[in-house]
Structure 1
């Protein structure tokens, strides 16, 4: 049986992380959904993402000729800073995201590790928004921006 993050924290230095960050850095989630935007959003509605329990979560979307990154970070109470990027391609960022999480092994704050991965994309000042009511409220606008009927991939990373 594998030790829990709390059992391993003295060895790993994870004791420095806040309890929720330690828990979620050990158990991040990544969901890849494909289809047109409305099909993706119907799938999102069936997932229990509990976004307001996370300090950091991201959305990567990509379709032919269009890619977007949205990085959400809780900044004060029920407010999130949202950093955004739009371009033509993510150039393998989805795979690098998985590699970053796997290499981290729950040791450090996984949200901070992914921020480092995305730092080249997130150069503009973030916008502060209220905590989303649900995943659809957080992500629908970005997913729909790819256009009705456009085959799209949406990657939802629930980090710390």
Structure 2
């Protein structure tokens, strides 16, 4: 009976150690993901909550006092100096910055093209509305097609309504 309890305790300990070596991150949909494999490359570093062989930071370590003998680097208590970023990390950061700059430039170009398209459409609407207002204001007889598909001469009420509509387009698009 004692052996079974020890075996169960050992299994529980192994399970706990295995669970602590998992990855945790927040995916693009905002859900927390647990896995024994690293997250995809498109997950930003700030969304990675836990990595194997990394303790979760629950408190900020106090700054180590400066050594009294004037030496730098490893502390007097034998603590190693904090690791310096490797060259590969610097290259990765440079690539990441370059990709972010390219994405920002692409978004800016899309926004500029969208604004140019909208301005072009407003200018076309303005031109057509001015032509329509000129035609409607001339007093010449005009015809239009009614709901039954028949050609009908435009009466004064319809002419006034169309003129108001053209003037509202001019007011909004001809700035």
TM exceeding 0.5: no
Considering fraction of residues, name the structure with more helix.
2
TM-score, normalised via structure 1 length: 0.20
| Structure with the larger RCO, 1 or 2 (CA within 8 Å, 6+ apart) | 1
Rg larger for: 2
TM-score, normalised via structure 2 length: 0.18
Considering fraction of residues, name the structure with more strand.
1
